[in-house]
A and B are shown apart, each in its own frame.
Chain A
Amino acid sequence: MGLDYKWVLWNAHKKTYDRLILLGMVTYLVLFFVLSFLTNPEIIAETVIIRAFGSLAIIMLHIILAIGPLSRLNPRFLPLLYNRRHLGVSMFLAALVHGVFAIIQFHALGNSNPIVSVFTSNMDYGSLVNFPFQVLGFLALLILFTMASTSHDFFLHNLSPKIWKGLHMGVYLAYALVIMHVFLGAFQQDTSFLTVLALFLGLITLVSLHVRAALKEAKIDGFVWAKDTKGWLAVCHPREIAESYAKIFTVDGERVAIFKHEGKLSAIHNVCKHQGGPLGEGKIVDGCVTCPWHGYQYLAHNGQSPPPFTEKVKTYALKIENDMVYINPEAFPEGTAVTPISSGS
């Protein structure tokens, strides 16, 4: 969390993860090159570069798409989620090398503009199997470029989290385009059933993870709390919430975190304004609720980031009756102060 923008937000953990990403990429590329030349000595360097970086980008894309559901299914994967942005930019760079070399190799030696050539060298747009697969890869690369170039907090802040998140959900369209790009390419060029099999297994794995995570979330969202006569929901006993930590509940479809700070309870919307991190999975540090993803902070009693920061989340009213914590499902506007209630412990 900072007032000014830096090109890259690095801390010790992020530097370690970035080194691991770089090491993994270099190792994969070296192995790919060595194995390619050992198994096919006649292969030319440009072809190996195109294949090595293309396959690396696809593998990284699968890892990136698996991180979200894995983190929702098992918190041990959360550190990967915190560092997903750098992995995404690295994946785009690998895809860019693949795309640039492919365009140079296949489209730069003719009379027409290489980019125009990508779209016009194969005009069989009416066929499914002979569809110009390079166009699909080019469009996917454009989407990945848009995402990589707007991945910085500057754009997140200025575009608004909602628009930014919507823009970055374009990764799913890019994934679909990439899958069809590789699938059709595998049939139109050197038919490789191994490639197709790997793609299909990757697709099944990703869809299974996402559907499983969605079912888990739906189960949490679908829980029905007992209501009192005024519509307040009975959610837990005060002692179930540990000091400086929170418990998360779904109230009218939205997640709410009830924090205990110095023996008093406060409820705020669970979603961090920065990148949608789960505030209730963080803890109170220096008197502030601290998002576990990137350290954005909020005051528990009013949902506001401490000055000079301006982020705000919704707050909720609480009460305790018969040793039970009740929450009013109707949220107050973002940043509304609510007096914390004593938990009695």
Chain B
Amino acid sequence: MIAGQRRAHKYIWIGILVLLPMLMILAVKDLDFSAADASGTSTDLPVSVSLNGQSVSIQVNTPFKSTSSLVYEMLADGSKGAVLGQLEGRGTYDFPVSEATKGIYVVDPIKDVELLKMEF
């Protein structure tokens, strides 16, 4: 290698050493592992749901074993309203809701089984 290439290699590896662990730590930090593991609560539940104004945020901690998992809004009378969306793997899902929404249902539409019912 010529001198310039040797220098480039050195700086690239220093960059990798700094950047990759930083990205990894920031990603893990977003997951908030420590809080979840310490309390032993939030990750014990398959999902946690929170209402944030005009949207509902669903944190899937353990993926549902159903083939398909649809989210329905719960209306004031407890009946199922519109489909809000679909849950797949682990992660956070945000769906817009109306003021009439009182909760959510998670349903397996193939087996027609109610997987979760949660009121706000």
Measured CB to CB, the residues of A under 8 A from B are 68, 124, 127-131, 165, 169, 172, 175-176, 179-180, 183-184, 187-189, 191, 196, 200, 203, 206-207, 210-211, 214, 217-218, 221, 253-255, 271, 276
Contacts and interface: CB of A to CB of B under 8 A. Distances in A.
Contacts of B16: 172, 175-176, 203, 207
B31 A276 contact: no
Contacts of B13: 172, 206-207, 210-211, 214
B20 A176 contact: yes
B20 A184 contact: no
- Give the interface size bracket for B toward A: 20 to 34
B27 A214 contact: no
What 7 A-B pairs come out closest when comparing CB atoms? A129-B30, A210-B13, A214-B10, A253-B3, A207-B17, A129-B27, A128-B27
Interface stretch (B49-57, B88-96, B112-120): B88-96
A125 B8 CA distance: 30
A188 B60 CA distance: 10
30 contacts: A128-B23, A128-B26, A128-B27, A129-B27, A129-B28, A130-B91, A130-B92, A131-B27, A165-B5, A169-B8, A175-B16, A176-B19, A179-B20, A184-B27, A187-B27, A187-B28, A188-B89, A189-B89, A189-B90, A203-B20, A207-B17, A210-B13, A211-B14, A211-B17, A214-B6, A217-B6, A218-B10, A221-B6, A253-B3, A254-B3
Interface of B: 1-3, 5-6, 8-10, 12-14, 16-17, 19-21, 23-24, 26-28, 30-31, 89-92
Contacts, number: 78
Given A129-B30, A218-B10, 18 more contacts: A127-B30, A127-B92, A130-B92, A169-B12, A172-B16, A176-B19, A180-B23, A180-B24, A183-B24, A187-B27, A188-B90, A207-B16, A210-B13, A214-B6, A214-B9, A221-B6, A254-B2, A255-B3
Contacts of B1: 271, 276
Given A128-B26, A130-B91, A187 B31 contact: yes
A343 B9 CA distance: 37
Contacts of B5: 165, 169, 276
A210 B9 contact: yes
A299 B113 CA distance: 81
A44 to B, nearest CB: 14
Contacts of A169: 5, 8-9, 12
A176 B26 CA distance: 15
Contacts of B17: 207, 211
A26 to B, nearest CB: 31
Contact of A180 (B3, B20, B31): B20
A203 B31 CA distance: 22
B23 A271 contact: no
Contacts of B12: 169, 172
